[in-house]
Structure 1
Amino acid sequence: MKFTDYTATLKTFMRIPLECSPRILWKLAYNFGWRNLVNMSRFEKRQAKGKPFFPAFVMISVTETCNLSCSGCWVTPGGKKSLSLEQLDGIITESKKKGSYFFGILGGEPLLYKGLFSIFEKHSDCYFQLFTNGMILTEEVAFKMKKLGNITPLISIEGLEDESEQRRGKSDVFNKSLAGVRACKKAKLFFGAAASICKGNFNDLVNRAYIDRLAKEGVHYLWYYIYRPVGNNPNPLNALNEEEIKNLRRFIVEQRKNAPLLVIETYWDDKGKALCPAATGMSHHISPGGAVEFCPPLQMAKEFINEDASNLTELFEQSAFLADLRKMTASASRGCILLEDPAKLVEFLEKQEALDTTTRNTVLQEYKNMSQVAGHDMKENAIPEENVFYKTMKKKYFFGFGAYG
């Protein structure tokens, strides 16, 4: 890295204390920062010593209900399944017993889930990343988050005006999401934007002008995903090809040198080798119907939490289904088996007699209909990190935990 890159990275980090309220900073530093370090250390030791399994992080989809119906989304349009407040509370309580205090809260649209903020308030010692489309993230909601201090909204923006309307099935989506961004800035929150990159939005969102625009709107981090053509309305023609994924990776590495916000992804380690967070055991997912799932888009499972999720630890520790799925996916590829080898995944799911966990009950057939598309495992074309900060963090937390031998 050049000296100018070091100063640019420092300037990016300094935005956070300069722009966020003191309560937000304290919760970010202690609930997320310190507790995460301790949790990851405990997880690493459990994995190394072969102790009973429990993931480092639990992703929780609280409801299927959503105010959008996006192409390529795994959430059931019009779905009504939701976790009870007792189940959501229990998931968090059981996870805390294992040292895990960080949770991804997904939907549907989680802001449509009644009682969500009462859970955030009850578990004030935790930190929550709220995945939202931002359309109902008003100033009133943002200031509730400021008062609690333990929530970082991650606002999904799937393209500029035209692409957002085409992809998400409603008009004026981009501007309404942008209003949510501005509400977060006004409340002095620590917040991010996310984008699932596909052919349709690549040119709009994978460029420095877009990063600069988000930074000017107050966004502190940008999380890039790779589009997965799943759900009842997939569009495989919109999936990235190998060259586009390589270009996305190269862009991320280059922008991390001096971008005015943090550039996040969870696909590659410090050497640029691909990994799957679920295959490493780093994270698993609880569905709106209480299923203990491998990851959010893989909507088949064999275990379900009870009425208060008091059996969650037992399920994670004793699930042969999840253990075998971790081994199988890790042996198949360092990338995403859902994209790279859906036929092998279907064979595994049928052999295991896994259950569809959705309202629509068509997931297995959807996987059978899937065609192979490019994943993020670039093998010999791996592009290593160049920014020292990202390289250090990836080396510590993204080395596979033995999943790949």
Structure 2
Amino acid sequence: MTLSSKTAPIPTMDVKSKEIIEEDENFLKFFNKQLIRLFYDAFRFSLKSPSYAYFLLKTLQYQKKAQKVRSKWKEQQLHVPAFLIFSVTGKCNLQCKGCYSHAQHRNKEAELSSQKLRDIIAEAKDLGISIILFAGGEPFIRPELLDITAQFPEIIFPIFTNGLLINDIMIQKLKKQKNVIPVLSIEGGYEETDLRRGTGVFGKVQNVMQKLFQARIFFGTSITLTTSNFSIVTQTTFIQSIIDHGCKLFFYIDYVPVKERTEHLMLTEEQASQISLLTDHFKKQFSQLFVAFPGDEEKLGGCLSAGRGFLHISPEGRIEPCPFAPYSDTNLQDVSLKEALQSKFLAQIRQNHDELMETRGGCALWEKQEWVKTLLHK
């Protein structure tokens, strides 16, 4: 099935189908407003840097343009999410405890080629996708990544990285690409980070932060929240210490127990309920940006997976609902992104969104993976 400007008449729908479409349209309007608001906040915080403020102003204009493109596709019954999570490789230079990428034991298939990466991003841009988050493994295992992003200055590319492969050559490239945002992963301070990521890692990440700060590169940090580090990484003294190293953006991500016998690391209900209040407080106290996942999803009506807000692309090219739900009926090695967005599997998840009420584990798809599998088999 392909789309054209001449779409077939929409068949008669039952009441439930009409309710789903109406709810979907209301969500998209709200989601788009929240997305634009995030960039407005970033623009307001950047006024001390005229060059970066100018970049964000252009970015804001492009985000609005991309939003209109997505709305036009919606009129033709094609649901295009605002952003992608793109795991560009499963390889990594570290062996972190509880790594979800290693825990999934994916089939050893060939990863997407550099040309295929470019082609997918180019098509994503044409479809109105305006934010592509690179994950892994370790994204910078692929040395060509910054050469690819340089070809798409309109798209925002947060890159979740352990930071250890960022060298002086890469820093020079990053200085020229304000649309690329390195997001360095830590677990807290020296003790917490080195315990999970390896001895000496936190000190090395600090050195990279210092270099990025000196080069005036906008960067952030990603912190996985667990029962053991929650009280530490939500202290204002900790946040200030990271800000002092130049960090402008904080991602708080709930731990998902992808490895057996790690359920004790999941946030308690009390801790999970505090996240939104804490990030709202931090936004008032600090001039940095704070994003909580999946905490901020709840403000948007729950799980954003399966294209409702985002999609995941595996290193092999499989279109998946979420990084924590490695199930797919479509591979970009075989079809275009436009065709993949019409996946019946993803549509079923979106249409049954009421099944994905957020739970204690944070990730509803992870906790309901058996239900997700039944949809795939259907």
Assess same fold via TM > 0.5. Answer: yes
State the percentage of identical aligned residues.
26
Moved more, 107-116 or 259-268: 259-268
* 2:119 corresponds to 1:69: no
How many residue pairs are counted as aligned between the two chains? Answer: 335
The counterpart of 1:58, out of the listed 80, 84, 95, is 84
TM-score, length of structure 1 as denominator length: 0.74
Residue among 173, 176, 180 paired with 1:151: 180
Match of 1:300 among 303, 319, 327: 327
Partner Cα distance (2:141, 2:297) in 1: 37
Q: Rate the CA distance shift 1:158–1:227 in 2: closer, same or farther, 3 A.
A: same
Q: Distance in 2 between matches of 1:127 and 1:343?
A: 30
Q: In the alignment, what sits opposite 2:255?
A: 227
Shift of 1:17: 4.2
Aligned to 2:356: 333
Residue 268 of structure 2 is aligned to residue 245 of structure 1: no
Work out whether residues 73 and 229 of structure 1, in 8 Å CA contact, stay in contact via their aligned partners in 2. Answer: no
Counterpart residue number, 1:383: none
1:183 aligns with 2:211: yes
The answer for the alignment partner of 1:203 in structure 2 is: 231
The corresponding residue for 2:190 is 161
Select which of 83, 98, 103 maps to 2:127.
98
Asked whether the equivalents of residues 89 and 119 of structure 1 are also in contact (C-alpha less than 8 Å), the reply is yes
Question: Partner letter of residue 323 of structure 2?
Answer: P
CA–CA distance in structure 1, aligned partners of residues 156 and 86 of structure 2: 13
Query: In structure 1, how many angstroms separate the alpha carbons of the residues matched to 2:319 and 2:362?
Result: 18
1:101 Cα offset (Å):
3.0
Displacement of 1:245 after TM fit? 0.7
Q: What amino acid does structure 2 have at the position aligned with 1:303?
A: T
Structure 2 residue corresponding to 1:38, chosen from 65, 79, 96: 65
Contact 1:109 1:133 in 2 (8 A): yes
Letter in 2 for 1:132: T
Q: Does 1:18 align with 2:48?
A: yes
Alpha carbons 1:64, 1:109 under 8 Å: kept: yes
Equivalent-residue separation in structure 2 for 1:341 and 1:193 (angstroms): 25
Amino acid in the other structure paired with 1:327? Q
Q: Provide the C-alpha distance between the structure 2 equivalents of 1:42 and 1:54, rounded to a whole number of angstroms.
A: 9
Q: Deviations over 1:171-214 (max 9, x none)?
A: 11111112221121111111111111111211220111112112
1:119 matched to 2:116: no
The amino acid of 2:279's aligned partner reads I
**What letter corresponds to residue 301 of structure 1 in structure 2?**
S
Q: Measure how far apart 1:162 and its partner are.
A: 1.4
Q: Is the 8 A contact 1:279 1:327 kept in 2?
A: no
Q: Does 1:108 align with 2:108?
A: no
The structure with higher relative contact order (CA 8 Å, sep 6+) is 1
Q: Distance in 2 between matches of 1:177 and 1:156?
A: 8
Q: Tell me the amino acid that sits aligned with residue 182 of structure 1.
A: Q
C-alpha separation in 2, matches of 1:45 and 1:267: 28
| Distance apart, 1:242 and its partner CA | 0.5
SS in 1 for 2:160: strand
Query: Structure 2 vs 1, CA of residues 118 and 340 (structure 1 numbering), >3 Å: closer, same or farther?
Result: closer
C-alpha separation in 1, matches of 2:243 and 2:42: 10
For residues 283 and 252 of structure 2, what CA distance do their matches in structure 1 show?
12
Tell me the TM-score normalised to structure 2 length.
Answer: 0.79
CA RMSD in angstroms comes to 2.9
Gaps of 5+ in 2: 1-39
Does residue 1:323 correspond to 2:347, yes or no?
yes
Instruction: Describe the superposition over 1:306-362 as per-residue Cα deviations: whole angstroms up to 9, x where unpaired.
Output: 26xx61111112x0001112233x2113326884575643133145239xxxxxxxx
Displacement of 1:15: 5.4
**Is 1:285 paired with 2:308?**
no
- Provide, for residues 136-163 of structure 1, a one-character-per-residue CA deviation record: whole Å limited to 9, x for no partner: 2233322211123321111111121111
Change (3 A) 1:194 1:234: farther
State the 1:124 CA deviation: 2.9
Q: Is the 8 A contact 1:135 1:176 kept in 2?
A: yes
Structure 1 unmatched ranges of 5 or more: 1-9, 355-405
Q: Which position in structure 2 is the counterpart of 1:375?
A: none
Q: Secondary structure at the match of 2:304?
A: coil
Alignment correspondent of 1:132? 161
CA contact (8 A) 2:305 2:322 kept: yes
Q: CA deviation at 1:286?
A: 0.6
Tell me how far apart the structure 2 counterparts of residues 145 and 88 of structure 1 sit (CA, whole Å).
19
**1:109: how far off?**
0.7
- Do the aligned residues in 2 keep the contact of 1:211 with 1:259 (CA within 8 Å)? no
- Contact 1:165 / 1:171 at 8 angstroms: preserved in 2? yes
For 2:224 and 2:208, how far apart are their aligned partners in 1?
A: 18
